[in-house]
Structure 1
Amino acid sequence: MSTPVHNPADALLLIAPSCPHCQSVLHALSDLVKSGDIGRLEVVNIAVHPETAQEVGTRSVPWMRIGNYELNGSYSTGELKSWAEKAATGAPAGEYIRELLEQQQLDQAIAYIEEYPDSLPQLLDMMQDEEDSLSVKFGLGAIFEALAGSDLLKTLVPELGKLATHDKANLRGDAAYYLGLSSAPEAARWLKPLLDDPQDDVREIAAEALDMLGQP
């Protein structure tokens, strides 16, 4: 029997009679309740209560919420135990956002960031992780584009400005693009030096970003 985690998170599981993976996920979560890794498990059959699926915004099952983490699809007992531990200990939100992007659940990643804005700086750390998959890299770009012009993205301008001076050209280019998306006038102070960047593509991105800010 595993050692119970500190302050175990509660879980909500949505299932349906025709779901091929729901039984295995239900069994796994039940085992985690028995072991103390999850404090309480609520199970809802959406064939009986379709309004619950509407409330959480899902059309597919198995869908589960463990603490603040929402997961969709088939997961093993070990994977669910890991997420239960992360939910209980407050693991970095970047791990959860990365999981969502790996599963191509972009809308859910954006919704999570909007609900928990303190998780936004995690995107900057993810930008610098060269080992992330293409799904994560493309997903990060899509998140920044979805946040274009928002107050959330404006809060990242100083940190993006620092990345605009990075020694790696790809990070300077990404930072320049996201600074343009911010619509923050102060972003220009970091973009203008990039007009003299040694890399052609970085100079081009910086010029386009300044155009986006209305400063050609």
Structure 2
Amino acid sequence: MSTESTRNPDAFVLISPHCPHCAQVLLGLEELVKEGALSRLEIVNIAADPGPAAERGVRSVPWTQIGPFVLEGSHSPAELRHWAERANDPNGMAWYIDEQLKTGKLPRVEAMIREDPSRLDAIPQLAGDPDTAMQTRVGIAALLESLEGSGMAKRLSKEFIKLTSHPDTRVRADACHFLALTEDKSGLASLEACLDDGDATVREIAAESIEHLRQFTAQRSKQPDQNS
């Protein structure tokens, strides 16, 4: 295993001279660097260099990024340590997406997925956990809907197919819905099998998902003719 794959995360923080919370965040990050929990810290004073804030669409500080995780506003040293530790954890991205979706930060999640579609791989873990909050489940659906037409979610179809056989009813129902949003017609067989599910809600969502996926497939099949 390479050294780069196991190194602790870098951090980036935007501050300003008159920010009341920047000093606390900065001290917390510097302490993590001293301990080795962070490999490197880049600090930008937006009063002296507003460019990085403008590039990221940042309107208030402190604004912190630890590895792939963006943290807005004031965060305690313990919170900063929490995300530094999770940056290299296999479950870290799932935890982060869960927290963001539960707090209504879908645009941030969508932006980070479009930046790196492999981050979508955390979604089946959340979808397959019966304890995942309803807000997160609704957020996953909204995320996948926002990605329709991009082909990004197709990478998730195999995992969602597995979840259509999950023991939990809600997980199966959501898996049917999410599977239709992957744009992958290979999921049709699993959706058709769910038409015989013992739960009426699963059967209903499976039927709706089949119709959605068939309509999408039909639209895609017409595109070459329209361009010819």
Do Structure 1 and Structure 2 share a fold, with TM-score over 0.5?
yes
Displacement of 1:147 in angstroms is 2.2
Deviations 1:136-157 (A, max 9, x none): 3332222222222432211211
Displacement of 1:211 in angstroms is 1.4
Corresponding letter in the other structure for 2:115: E
Contact 2:128 2:163 in 1 (8 A): no
TM-score by length of 2: 0.80
1:3 corresponds to: none
Corresponding letter in the other structure for 1:196: D
Contact 2:148 2:181 in 1 (8 A): yes
Deviations 1:64-97 (A, max 9, x none): 122232221221112212322333x454321232
Q: CA RMSD in A?
A: 2.3
Deviations 1:178-199 (A, max 9, x none): 1222222222111112222222
For residues 184 and 9 of structure 1, the distance between their equivalents in structure 2, rounded to whole angstroms, comes to 35
Considering fraction of residues, name the structure with more helix.
2
For residues 103 and 214 of structure 1, the distance between their equivalents in structure 2, rounded to whole angstroms, comes to 33
TM-score by length of 1: 0.84
- Structure 1: tracts of 5 or more residues without a match: 1-5
1:194 corresponds to: 194
Mapping of 1:47-58 within 5 angstroms?
47-58=47-58
2:85 corresponds to: 85
Bigger mean CA offset, 139-148 vs 21-30: 139-148
Deviations 1:110-163 (A, max 9, x none): 222333333323211111223333433332222222222432211211221111
Question: What is the percentage of aligned positions where both structures have the same residue?
Answer: 41
Contact 2:130 2:171 in 1 (8 A): no
For residues 69 and 61 of structure 2, the distance between their equivalents in structure 1, rounded to whole angstroms, comes to 15
- Structure 2: tracts of 5 or more residues without a match: 1-5, 216-228
Contact 1:150 1:182 in 2 (8 A): no
Corresponding letter in the other structure for 2:8: P
